[in-house]
Structure 1
Amino acid sequence: MESMKFEHKKVEPSNENFQLLVAELNRSLSQITGDSGESSFLPEVFDSSKGGCIVVYLNKFSVACGVFRYYQNEVCELKRMYSNTSGAGSYLLEQLECYAVEKGYKKAVLSTRRVNLKAVNFYQRNSYSESRAYGKYVGVKRSICLSKVLVT
């Protein structure tokens, strides 16, 4: 089998392909968790000086997207991660992590619903481990917070 050649572009959250993928993500999350997760990331407050947004392409088709944003000193938060093509999620995560490191981040944190086992298992396979709840997730039993050191 020919190996898939993913490409990625650094974009703004207003990017049409990003928006289309996020709409898919919202539908998927609504089915899994009953909540689209839309309220946890507002594109209009995205700050490209501190954050990054990536769309992954395969044969010119957008297949994955994700964002990171400033959380606290040297720590970014991953948001709106989505892939509809096998292998694209891992490629996306790698690109987001490299981009975050370029912007000076040393650690990434994220939260997902415990019931979203596909996401939980994906992050654990990619060296994220369960960590203390942060921000609005403190005391929220349905959420799991995960983190990974990007630079030691």
Structure 2
Amino acid sequence: MTEFTIEKADPEHPDAIVLQAALSKTLEAMTGSSGAQAFNHRDVKVEGARFLLARDAGGRAVGCVACRPLEPGIVEIKRLFALPGSRGAGRALLRHIEAFARDYGYREAWLETRRSNPAAVDFYLRNGYRIIENYGRYVGQQDAVCFARTLGETDYAERA
């Protein structure tokens, strides 16, 4: 598996903007919604939030992820994306953002994806997330599926 360097970044860094645009385009084509309206750069520039980039061995930005405080003890993971061909970057980003959240003191990570994105649904299930009731802005959205994972758990399947 390819090794990646994971680094803290500003969500408005040019590399971050390019990756978020690629994610929005991918989601729009797949689900009919870019998901961009559910993400605000300011949300990940506050205490307890983080934005990360993954870079390949050549230094090229190949993935991103963000997290923000949702409610006491719960962090929300947002905008996880890895470019096609960067196998393992998504998992590396997820593990790094979970480690940040756990070390910061969050007990759980929550996130939302779309049922019309079965690869994402499968990815989160493989990585120890469980489906929960839709929360917040996702309540009543039929295509939304929400997940949670207790931070610090290591009983997820590490399937490639």
TM-score if structure 2 supplies the norm length?
0.90
Q: Distance in 1 between matches of 2:10 and 2:105?
A: 19
Q: How does 1:94-105 map to 2 (within 5 A)?
A: 94-105=95-106
1:123 Cα offset (Å): 0.5
Q: Distance in 2 between matches of 1:125 and 1:21?
A: 24
- The answer to whether structure 1 residue 136 and structure 2 residue 123 are counterparts is no
Q: Are 1:112 and 1:143, in contact at CA under 8 Å, matched by a contact in 2? A: yes
Deviations along 1:124-152, one digit per CA (max 9) or x if unpaired, are 11000101111011111110001100037
1:44 Cα offset (Å): 3.0
- The answer to whether structure 1 residue 110 and structure 2 residue 108 are counterparts is no
Q: How does 1:74-113 map to 2 (within 5 A)?
A: 74-84=73-83, 85-113=86-114
- The answer to whether structure 1 residue 18 and structure 2 residue 16 are counterparts is yes
Quote the RMSD (CA, aligned, Å): 1.2
Q: Which amino acid aligns with 2:38?
A: S
Q: Distance in 1 between matches of 2:73 and 2:152?
A: 10
Q: Distance in 2 between matches of 1:83 and 1:122?
A: 12
SS at match of 1:95: helix
Moved over 6 A (4+): none
Partner residue in 1 for 2:149? 148
Q: Which amino acid aligns with 1:74?
A: G
Q: Are 1:64 and 1:92, in contact at CA under 8 Å, matched by a contact in 2? A: yes
1:45 Cα offset (Å): 3.9
- The answer to whether structure 1 residue 67 and structure 2 residue 66 are counterparts is yes
CA pair 45-4 structure 1, distance change in 2 beyond 3 A:
closer
Q: Are 1:12 and 1:48, in contact at CA under 8 Å, matched by a contact in 2? A: no
Deviations along 1:9-42, one digit per CA (max 9) or x if unpaired, are 1112112211111010000001101111100001
Partner residue in 2 for 1:121? 122
Q: Are 2:113 and 2:144, in contact at CA under 8 Å, matched by a contact in 1? A: yes
Partner residue in 1 for 2:3? 5
Task: Name which of structure 1's ranges 64-73 and 95-104 shifts more when overlaid on structure 2.
Answer: 95-104
CA pair 11-48 structure 1, distance change in 2 beyond 3 A:
farther
Match of 2:40 among 28, 33, 42: 42
SS at match of 1:70: strand
Q: Are 1:29 and 1:37, in contact at CA under 8 Å, matched by a contact in 2? A: yes
SS at match of 1:112: strand
SS at match of 1:105: coil
Q: Which amino acid aligns with 2:152?
A: V
What residue ranges of structure 2 are gaps of 5+ in the alignment? 154-160
Counting matched residue pairs gives 150
